[in-house]
Structures are given as structure tokens and as C-alpha cells.
A = this chain, B = another copy of it.
Amino acid sequence: MFTKVLIANRGEIALRVARTCRELGIATVAVYSTADRDSTVTAFADESVHIGPPPAGRSYLSAPALVEAVRRTGADAVHPGYGFLSEDPDFAEVCAEEGIVFVGPDWPVLERLGDKASARELMLSAGLPLLPGSGGVCATEAECLRTAARLGLPVIVKAVAGGGGRGMAIARDEASLPAVYRETRATAQSLYGDGRVYVERYLDGARHVEIQVLADRHGNALALGDRDCSVQRRHQKLVEETPAPGLSPATREAMALAAVHGVRTAGLVGAATVEFLVDSDENFYFLEVNARLQVEHPVTEMVTGVDIVEQQLRLAAGEPLTLGEQDVRGRGAAVECRLNAEDPDRDFRATPGTLEVFHLPGGPFTRVDTHCVPGATISPYYDPLLAKIVTWGVDRRAALRRMDRALAEVRIEGPGVSVNTALLRRVLADPDFAAGTYSTALLTEMLTASGSAR
């Protein structure tokens, strides 16, 4: 096992990773930009390195800064968290060259899975069901129109380099397709420096269900159950739960098998999530592989009792997977709500500011992951996630009632700071959500119906 791990991230996930390192007796190195100088993880970690100014491009996204921080502190591994460089094949390659263990898949695997077109091909070859699509990059507008004519509308145009809900747009009719195509190309070019896009049939009213997988270097892989992440705003997840409600055991098992097979086919080592769209007939279609820790991993932890970060570290250190099916059998249900400093009434605009009051819930079967403390300042440079509230219950209903109790305890106040607590409670109260019959359209429909997010 490692003796010192540098955590190449910030916010709640940096603290999350540092906690498990501490529990395993591994020394921790935090890194921080000037904006995060007084952060909780900096105080928690054994050492800290100031890696750059607030803009992520010169700090958390700067591979040279991170590699030099590793050299300076003598860490033997880097945990990238989620976002930032967590799925960057170049960073993983540099780490490998420098003799630093990257806690994640090998860089060629990241490269293959990061290109959404090649990931599609790979999973197709592994026999996973895919939505009908362009079968590769759609190089011209004409090709895009031909593909859409073949697939039928609506279609979704996606950036090859995209992921995590960014760089994608839906075209509902032929007339709008050329504009959608051009805009997605332009967005992809500006976001990723890679304008290539592909086209897939778009499923209305589908659910977003994902399988958590662990895989070692010795040919063992294991699914840790599924998560439903259909409650999304602008393709960004807001509420996640496990197990996905209402799926038949047969579908659940078939998805888990497909996910494990896909991960093995990709040669992936570590923790990964295979995302699927599931239609109302329980047909499921491969979406993408997230070859990293997910924001929503705690729901799986609460139900299975597995510390996924510990598993990542062990797997990255080359240890064999010692968990079997019997060790990861889920108990009960868990749900996570993301508390964001954002204003649902103003198109979810981030509302940075100082948290004068910051009170989060606790008590039975309630987990809180946060990097914030009273008096902390939420910087405009990074994502507006303040805290993750996770509750467990013997069944879905108990977990959801507990979540509503927990959200009612939240008190966060500060000048200019708006928090999405009320919207989260509205989701819990929504009849479709409560019945477990919701799809990715839920939040949009809720907001459209009320004309307001509150």
C-alpha cells in the first residue's frame, strides 16, 4: 500500500479521499489554489502545497504543477478525485512516466474511454446494447442529416470529447438539426479543443441508471449495485439513489453483467461507473463509462458497506479484489441530495459568497460530506457544490422520508448566497419521484409546470 498520497483536487471530494487515507494510515498531501488557502482539507492533510492562482487552468488542471507538487512532497501516488484531471489520459501518462501511481485506470484505457466514439465502438464489440447512432464521428452537416433521417427524430448530438453531461444537445425536428449540429461542434471545440461530434437517437422519458464496478489487475471484477441518477438539471445530477427503483431483478442483473463485461473488455483497473439509459420497457442502452470516483458514490457505500475510495487505493496498489458477491450485498436503500450554492429561479446560476450560517443535519442513518464551515467563502472559480446529504433507510420510502427530515434541518445563509434546498424538497414531494416512476424529464417538467423552481 502507499505511504503518501497527493490528492489532486479540492472541495468535499478532497476531504473525502483524505479521510480514507488517514483511516488506512496513509499520509496525505493536499494541494490548493490561492482561493482555497484556508480550506478544510488543507487543515486536515498532513502536508499542503500551494499549486497556483485561483483559475483551475493554472492550478487544479495544471499537470506540471501537480507533478512537481508530488516530487516536492515525495508522494507515491496521486488520487485525482472527480472532475479536473481525473480522466485526463495525458496526466495519467505523465504520472506513469514519472513513476507516480495514478489512482485510476491506465492512461490508454482513459484515452479509449474518453473518446466517446471509440468507447461506443469498444462497448459495441463487447456486445453491450447501444442506442442506434452514427456509428462514429459525424464529420459533416449532410452526414448528420442523413443519420437523423435514418434514426428518426429526436436525436442527440454529442461531443466525442464530452462527458459528465457537457457538450451535448437535442434536436427535436429536422429544421433545427443543422443549428444544433453547428452549435454542438462549436461548443465542443471551445470546451475541449476537439470539435468532433456524433449522433444518437434520443430517448424521451428514459431513466439514467448506472452500475458501480470495481476491477483489479488480476482479472477480477465486481458490480456494487446500481444507482438511479435521473434527477438532473441541464444534464447535471442533483439527486441520486440506490437501488434504482422499480427495476426487475432480471434487468438489474443483466445491466450489472453488461457493465462488468464492458469494464473488463476495456481493461480498466479501479473503480468505474457504466452509465445506461433505460426506457419504460426496461431496455437499456450504454451511454458512457466514468472511469473515476463519482460524486454520488456514497449511496452505494451506505447500502453495501464498502468504502469505494479504499478499494480504489488498494486496486491502484495492485492488490487483488478480495470482495465477493456476498460481501457487497446491499441492505436497504440510500439517497443523496447535492446542496449547491445556486439559484434555481435564475437558471441555476451559481451564487458564490460567504456562509454566515452553515448548519447541516445529522443523526440516525444520515451522512454528510462537506468541505464548508461557518464563515467559509464559496469561490466563483469552482463548482457550487456545498455539501452532499446522504440518508439510508430500510427501504426507499424510509430513506426518502429521512432525507426530507434532514433537508428541513439545513440552514445556510450568507449575503447573495442562494441554496437549492427548497427545490430538493420539492423533488422529494413530487408524486412521480415518490412513486419511483420518474425519468430524466422530471426536473424540467417540474420547473415548466410551476414556472418557478421554488
Tell me the A residues contacting B by CB distance below 8 Å. 15-16, 19-20, 22-25, 44, 298, 301, 305, 307, 309, 331-332, 359-360, 362-370, 373-374, 392, 394, 398, 401-402, 405, 408-409
Contact = CB atoms under 8 A, between A and B. Distances in A.
B408 A363 contact: no
22 contacts: A16-B363, A16-B364, A19-B364, A20-B364, A23-B401, A24-B401, A44-B409, A301-B364, A301-B365, A305-B331, A307-B364, A309-B364, A331-B331, A359-B373, A362-B367, A362-B369, A363-B368, A363-B369, A364-B367, A364-B369, A365-B367, A367-B367
A408 to B, nearest CB: 7
A362 B368 contact: yes
Given A16-B363, A16-B364, 8 more contacts: A19-B405, A22-B405, A23-B401, A305-B331, A307-B365, A362-B367, A363-B369, A374-B374
Most buried by B among A24, A25, A365: A365
Name, among A364, A368, A401, A408, the residue most crowded by chain B CB atoms within 10 Å (CB to CB).
A364
Query: Interface of chain A, helix or strand or loop or mixed?
Result: mixed
Nearest to A297: B364
Nearest to A329: B331
Q: Which of A360, A363, A368, A408 has the most CB of B within 10 A?
A: A363
Contacts of A364: 16, 19-20, 298, 301, 307, 309, 367, 369
A393 to B, nearest CB: 8
Task: List the number of copies, as a whole number.
Answer: 2
Given A366-B367, A402-B23, A394 B301 contact: no
A332 B329 CA distance: 13
A402 B402 CA distance: 24
Nearest to A307: B364
Given A22-B405, A402-B23, A367 B363 contact: yes
B408 A22 contact: yes
A119 to B, nearest CB: 30
Query: Which of A23, A25, A305, A366 lies at the interface centre, i.e. has the most chain B CB atoms within 10 A of its CB?
Result: A23
Contacts of A398: 23
Contacts of A309: 364
A214 to B, nearest CB: 15
A51 to B, nearest CB: 24
A28 to B, nearest CB: 11
Contact of A332 (B19, B44, B305): B305
A25 B401 contact: yes
In the complex, which of the residues A298, A331, A370, A405 has the most CB atoms of chain B within 10 Å of its own CB atom? A405
